[in-house]
């Protein structure tokens, strides 16, 4: 997560965390033309789903990723109702060895060929951050990447994680194409957060974290599916702090991704941000592939 200033109680296997910094630079504090004209904040409108690949093949695979934050709170806020409406699922869960930390779940209609947890290094496998599911034609990795923390106290650890995770993914990608998803806890480019100038020293947008994601994209290699399809689309975020009415103002960050092996790009139909789905400080994202 980006730098936080207000502590939030951990709940149901989520990492203890604080709310992100919403500091604005002088430039970022100026309202854009639409807001200055009195038309209100600029909100992202998710376009209609595209369910065919560039070659015209129909989508056969749909993957949804959602950082639900606290599980019980998410259920109370009707997040589960959205999932039930969209999907009929079974559930695989990677839990943390430490109470109040992380944990990722993998709902799936189709039974994977193989499921594993963690990246094979003890230092990084105590917090339940990674689940790997192998299918016939690809490997799905769902990961909750550690954040640098308030005051960047975990920045050095997050850099060690980046190197170990990148090595782990390269090994997987040498065998089958990869789909990597969930909360990667970094906004890669300035377009990926509302106030880039005011957050360059904050967790989630430090040069080190951005470089780490860039090296992962280059070395594995992987492609950011949303950026690939919607490279010039602004105000498209997946996380909003609850502070300062950030959701209603669309002061957010794009922290959640679908990253794909290059060999899967011909199968890419769409990469969606479901910004109107309620239940968490993150929104769901959806991927369509024609496999």
The closest of 151, 182, 226 to 14, measured between CA atoms, is 182
Half-sphere exposure of 96 (CA within 13 A, CB side): 21
d(Cα 19, Cα 113) in Å, to the nearest integer?
38
Q: What strands, in cross-sheet order, belong to the sheet with 114-117?
A: 114-117, 130-134, 139-143, 178-183, 256-260, 223-224
Q: Which residues contact 221 (CB under 8 A, 6 or more apart)?
A: 261, 262
Q: How many residues does the chain have?
A: 291
Q: Which residues contact 132 (CB under 8 A, 6 or more apart)?
A: 115, 116, 117, 139, 140, 141, 172
d(Cα 190, Cα 205) in Å, to the nearest integer?
9
- 3-state SS, residue 158: helix
Q: Which of 69, 183, 192, 270 is catalytic?
A: 183
172-to-5, 134, 214, 220 alpha-carbon distances in Å: 37, 10, 18, 9
Active site residue 144: yes
Q: Which of 44, 101, 144, 257 is catalytic?
A: 144
The set of catalytic residues is 144, 183
């Amino acid at each position: 997560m980006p730098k936080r200033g207000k502590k939030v109680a951990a709940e149901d296997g989520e990492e203890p965390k604080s709310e992100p910094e919403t500091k604005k630079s002088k430039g970022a504090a100026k309202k854009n033309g639409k807001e200055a004209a009195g038309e209100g904040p600029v909100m992202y409108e998710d376009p209609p789903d595209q369910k065919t690949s560039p070659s015209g093949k129909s989508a056969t695979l749909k993957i949804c990723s959602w950082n639900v934050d606290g599980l019980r709170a998410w259920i109370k806020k009707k997040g589960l109702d959205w999932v039930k409406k969209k999907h009929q699922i079974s559930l695989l869960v990677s839990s943390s060895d430490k109470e109040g930390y992380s944990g990722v779940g993998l709902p799936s209609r189709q039974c994977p060929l193989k499921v594993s947890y963690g990246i094979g290094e003890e230092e990084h496998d105590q917090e339940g951050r990674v689940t790997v599911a192998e299918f016939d034609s690809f490997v799905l990795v769902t990961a909750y990447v550690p954040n640098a923390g308030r005051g960047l106290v975990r920045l050095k650890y997050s850099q060690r994680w980046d190197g170990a995770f990148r090595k782990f993914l390269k090994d997987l990608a040498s065998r089958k194409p990869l789909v990597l998803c969930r909360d990667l806890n970094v906004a890669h480019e300035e377009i990926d957060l509302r106030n880039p100038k005011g957050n360059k020293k904050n967790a989630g947008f430090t040069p080190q974290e951005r470089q780490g994601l860039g090296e992962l994209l280059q070395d594995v290699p992987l492609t950011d599916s949303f950026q690939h399809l919607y490279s010039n689309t602004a105000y498209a975020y997946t996380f909003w702090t609850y502070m300062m009415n950030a959701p209603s103002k669309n002061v957010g960050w794009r922290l959640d991704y679908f990253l794909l092996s290059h060999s899967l790009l011909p199968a890419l139909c769409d990469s969606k941000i479901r910004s109107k789905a309620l239940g968490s400080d993150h929104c769901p994202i959806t991927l369509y592939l024609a496999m």
